[in-house]
A and B are shown apart, each in its own frame.
Chain A
Amino acid sequence: MIEVDALSKRFVVRRGRFRRERHMVEAVKEISFRVEPGELLGYLGPNGAGKSTTIKMLTGILVPSGGNVRVAGLEPSRRRIELARRIGAMFGQRVQLWWDLPLVDSFELLRHVYKVPADRHRERLARLRSVLDLDTFLQTPVRQLSLGQRIRGELAASMLHGPELLFLDEPTIGLDVVAKQRVRDFLLEINRQDGVTVMLTTHDLGDIERLCERLLVIDRGSLIWDGGIPELKERFGGERTLVVDLEEPLAPLSIAGAVVERVDGPRQWLRFRGPASDLTARVVGSARVVDLQIQEPDIEEIVRRIYAHE
């Protein structure tokens, strides 16, 4: 569905008012990846890492400075309009609906923009209305919608022409827990049931953990991770913590392969790498243990470490 090969984007930035200096900024540096049809993948990175630049190149809005891109078999920047008919895009921080008009009016206009036959449009809209629960505000002008309602409207708008591929840029930004859940359920449904390929850009790690099997992480223009979330934890969060509750307070345990991080009364925290079984055996062998507990690093922590270049 998406083939990206050594894709780069350089911008020339001019500084200074009179003696303008030209600076070259490499927003995206030779990234490569593929996305198969039906995948739901997360695209993650700190602000300014090159996420939006990548998405803009994939949708044909930006011309790459180097490398190759193919989306749905097309070269995006040359065949932007043709590609636009086959993909959907939603940018959480931009309004794509018609601000002053009722929501349903935007949908009807989009039907004509994408030349969707009336009966197919009716079918799709009926489905989106029920999945996204749009009925109560379908006739409300967009400017009067709450953020959650508007985002649901935007999602419906991006799906009305039946795209094979959906780009979502921060779809849950600013939403409350309930609204977030609804958006996530919707994305899972279109992905599982309709086989829509979804590429999701987000800062919300909850989105990623609940939705994505695969994750791309970009930082300073380079792709630093392409793989599953368990593997990511393994790779970047390699160290786990064994919490040991002893029968009585002791001096920090001295166990091969582990470092005691903290002691609090009878409880000790041991950082370790590798399999837990050997370590547990050694701990149990060296002290009287009441309880054992293994703490996995959570994804927030991992991402924080990646961003901080630890």
Chain B
Amino acid sequence: MRLDWEIAKRGWRRYAAYPWATAAGAFTNTIFGFLQAYILLAVYRHRSDVGGFDARDAVTYVWLAQAMIMTVYIFSWQELALRIRDGSIAVDLARPLDPQRYWLAFDLGRAPYHFLFRGLLPFVVGAIVFDLRYPSPLDALAFVVSLTFAVVVSFGVRFLYNSAAFWLLDFRGVMTLTITVVLFLSGMVMPVRFFPGWLRDAAYALPFSAILQTPVDVWLGKRDGLALLGFLALQAGWAVVLLALGRFVLACGTRKLVVQGG
């Protein structure tokens, strides 16, 4: 536990080492927030409800999504894949430390940094300019839990496409494909609630919605009581399944590496 904490601290510091990159990113998120908010507001001029979201929900979704985009690290993360590709993974294996545990702890240190320094600014700007919806204390608490699960689910997905590097000389195809699917099915491009019925149900059943749509729904109070608990449990379930899958794939990859070399 102490070790995980120490690793997490390095995860935070590694990103804190580049404050200007952070500032530039936060600025970009803010611009995109305005863009998306005005597009959605244009839609709501003709309708008052889309898939259970009113205009205020939709605008809140926009600014939450911009705040979470880096927290859940939805875009490319390839540190593990690069270490596999250049052979540094051998160095990692020569240490008494499990790579999955290491990278998860590192990511859980990174996420709060990005939440505070990439997420907060766009959200505050959005909150000043637009009329947003705020959660009840209980929903706020549930949101924090849900956001944590979202980070782990996202990590699980990223860990898997990175592990492809054990087998593929160029893992970037797999990565790009996965990111495209994640962007769409997580609700990043537009809320999962806007999808036609069948796709919406499918998206909610898949792990990708747990990366973004689930915490947004929790914040907006779209589930309560047992339904809320079940919602969080599904998210936690995906986190466990993806980590287990990652563990299995890593074991296969390591075995391939140690038995066949390369």
A contacts, CB < 8 Å to B: 9, 11-12, 27, 53, 56, 59-63, 77, 80-82, 84-85, 89, 91, 94-96, 98, 100-101, 105, 108-109, 112-115, 141
State A115–B261 Cα separation when bound (angstroms).
30
| 11 pairs, A vs B, C-beta closer than 8 Å | A27-B261, A53-B261, A61-B258, A63-B258, A63-B259, A77-B258, A80-B93, A96-B91, A100-B14, A108-B6, A109-B10
Contact status A112-B96, CB under 8 Å: no
A301 to chain B, nearest CB (A): 33
Q: Which of A11, A82, A101, A141 contacts B261 (CB 8 A)?
A: A11
What is the interface of chain A mostly: helix, strand, loop, or mixed?
Answer: mixed
Question: Is B94 in contact with chain A by the CB < 8 A criterion?
Answer: yes
Contact status A95-B88, CB under 8 Å: yes
Query: What residues on B are CB-neighbors of A114 within 8 Å?
Result: 96
- Whether A101 touches B94, Cβ cut-off 8 Å, given contacts A27-B261, A61-B258, A141-B17, is no
Query: What residues on A are CB-neighbors of B94 within 8 Å?
Result: 59-61, 80, 84, 89
- Whether A94 touches B17, Cβ cut-off 8 Å, given contacts A101-B10, A108-B6, is no
Contact status B10-A61, CB under 8 Å: no
Query: What residues on A are CB-neighbors of B2 within 8 Å?
Result: 112
Count the A-B residue pairs with Cβ separation under 8 angstroms: how many?
A: 68
B242 to chain A, nearest CB (A): 24
Query: What residues on B are CB-neighbors of A11 within 8 Å?
Result: 260-262
Contact status B14-A98, CB under 8 Å: yes
State A113–B96 Cα separation when bound (angstroms).
7
B168 to chain A, nearest CB (A): 14
* Nearest 9 A/B pairs, CB to CB: A84-B96, A112-B6, A112-B3, A100-B14, A81-B96, A100-B17, A85-B96, A89-B94, A63-B258
Beta-carbon contacts under 8 Å, B172-186 to A: none
Query: What residues on B are CB-neighbors of A59 within 8 Å?
Result: 94
Query: What residues on A are CB-neighbors of B14 within 8 Å?
Result: 98, 100-101
- Whether A94 touches B88, Cβ cut-off 8 Å, given contacts A61-B258, A63-B258, A85-B96, is yes
Query: What residues on B are CB-neighbors of A85 within 8 Å?
Result: 96
Question: Is B197 in contact with chain A by the CB < 8 A criterion?
Answer: no
Contact status A105-B13, CB under 8 Å: yes
Contact status A61-B93, CB under 8 Å: yes
Query: What residues on B are CB-neighbors of A89 within 8 Å?
Result: 91, 94
Query: What residues on A are CB-neighbors of B260 within 8 Å?
Result: 11-12
Contact status B90-A56, CB under 8 Å: yes
**What 1/0 flags go to B248-262 for Cβ under 8 Å of A?**
000000000111111
Question: Is B95 in contact with chain A by the CB < 8 A criterion?
Answer: yes
Question: Is B226 in contact with chain A by the CB < 8 A criterion?
Answer: no
Query: What residues on A are CB-neighbors of B10 within 8 Å?
Result: 98, 101, 105, 109
A103 to chain B, nearest CB (A): 13
**What 1/0 flags go to B67-100 for Cβ under 8 Å of A?**
0000000000000000000011011011111000
A47 to chain B, nearest CB (A): 15
State A27–B260 Cα separation when bound (angstroms).
11
Question: Is B7 in contact with chain A by the CB < 8 A criterion?
Answer: yes
Query: What residues on B are CB-neighbors of A9 within 8 Å?
Result: 261
Q: A96-B91, A108-B6, A113-B95 are in contact. List 16 more A-B contacts (CB 8 A).
A: A11-B260, A53-B261, A60-B94, A62-B258, A84-B96, A85-B96, A89-B91, A94-B87, A95-B88, A100-B14, A105-B13, A109-B6, A112-B3, A113-B96, A113-B97, A141-B17
State A114–B18 Cα separation when bound (angstroms).
29
Beta-carbon contacts under 8 Å, B219-262 to A: 257-262
